[in-house]
Amino acid sequence: MKAAGETLLALLAQFAVLSLLAFGGANGVVPEMHRQAVAVHHWMSDRDFTTLFAIAQAAPGPNVLIATLVGWKAAGIPGALVATLAMCGPSCVLTYFAARVWDRHRDAPWRKALAAGLAPVAVGLVAATAWLLVRAADRDVALALITAATAAVIGFTRLNPLWCLAAAAGLGLWRGL
Amino acid sequence: MDIEDRPDSRPTARTLGLTFLGVALSGFGGVLPFARRALVDRRRWLTEADFNETLALCQSLPGPNIVNLSVVVGSRFAGVGGAFAGVAGLLAAPVILVLCLATLWARFGASGRIPAAIDGLGAAAAGLVVATALKMARPILSRAPAGGGAIIGCVFVAVGVARAPLIAVLAVAAPVSVFIAWRRRPGGQG
């Protein structure tokens, strides 16, 4: 039981910190989640992580579900709950108070500068996540083509991503024949 | 009937929770468009401008953007209780569903041709994040191609390629980028 408690504590500490670093949302800190879960704590393999990320994307709901699944893989249902709450708690508290300050300084120029300055940082983080996932998921040319096609379709049309996920799973099945 | 007919009434914590529950469950492949539809078009709790303004705040803060949005909207109308209701409504059902999916994967993921299907799914999920990065980059690159592009590139290389510690990258990149944006503001120097 001691080991399980230690895993829960590690999840709590890791995700509470990531919560406050997650510029660009949960997708901004996926490389750090991956590093901790695969390389540092050995909770799962590289391939497991890619699969869990795909499952999180396929389920309805916010991107934060990848944290839920990392917690689940590490320590079952309690781990899932701890990781989810730790990933949301600190940033929710910060947001609660920041919203008040933000409203009070409606026209302050620093507000625009802050938003405009943090936006490219968030894009860089999400791009790093994309790169990590591309390298982990695209183990052959056909899979790389699926990634490229999905990126093009979703990047340049308004199609619901679920169609791409379903088509890709279907293609995978067909390839596996 | 319900609040849809009375756009000016203040929603209770319960209504907020149920609304975000509906948003979460319709949000296959991205919750944001559904949140906009529910809060602006259907409930009329926020105007389009309010929504964009609130979203800009939530995207500037760390943490899951849409969870932050539920905190801001929930607390604006119903205080701390509203914030809790919004977050709980948004998270409860998706967490249960995703755990069901993961349990199915744990039981059947290795059998038959399922692994091949999951490989395809993983490749598409990677493509979704590539698309997200492209969509996020577009307005920045058209507004500030040099400064914005340089920051995006540096953060990408530091975190994605060099695998530098996230906290160190943020400690350098965030202040530098905000400073550049401050200098670019109308009336600013440079």
Total of domains in chain A: 1
Enter the ipTM. 0.90
- Give a yes or no: residue A150 inside a domain: no
| A63-75 average pLDDT score | 96
- Containing B37, the helix (H) or strand (E) segment is none
Nearest to A119 among B27, B133, B140 (CB): B140
Residue boundaries of the structural domains of chain B: 3-108, 144-190
pLDDT in tens, B74-84: 999 999 999 99
Amino acid at B57: L
Tell me if A124 and B125 make a contact (CB, 8 A cut-off): no
Say if CB A64 and CB A56 are below 8 A apart: no
Contact check, Cβ <8 Å, A165/B113: no
Residue B174 to residue B133: CA distance in whole angstroms: 18
Distance CA B124, CA A44 (A): 21
Structural domain for A73, as ranges: 2-137
Does the residue A53 lie in any domain?
yes
**Average pLDDT, stretch B117-142?**
92
Least confidently predicted of A43-52, A150-159, B26-35: B26-35
User: Does the residue A174 lie in any domain?
Assistant: no
Phi (first) and psi of residue A130, to 5 degrees:
-60, -45
Mean pLDDT computed over A36-41: 95
Cβ <8 Å between B63 and A99: no
Higher pLDDT, B187 or A25: A25
pLDDT tens-digit readout, B121-131: 999 999 999 99
Chain-wide mean pLDDT for chain B? 88
Q: Is the dihedral of CA B20, B22, B24, B26 positive or negative?
A: negative
Please determine, for residue B43, whether its predicted confidence score (pLDDT) is greater than 80: yes
Give the pLDDT confidence score for residue B29 in this predicted structure. 60
How many other C-beta atoms can be found within 10 angstroms of the C-beta atom of residue B146?
9
Interface check for B30 against chain A (CB to CB < 8 A): the answer is yes
Q: Does B166 touch chain A (CB under 8 A)?
A: yes
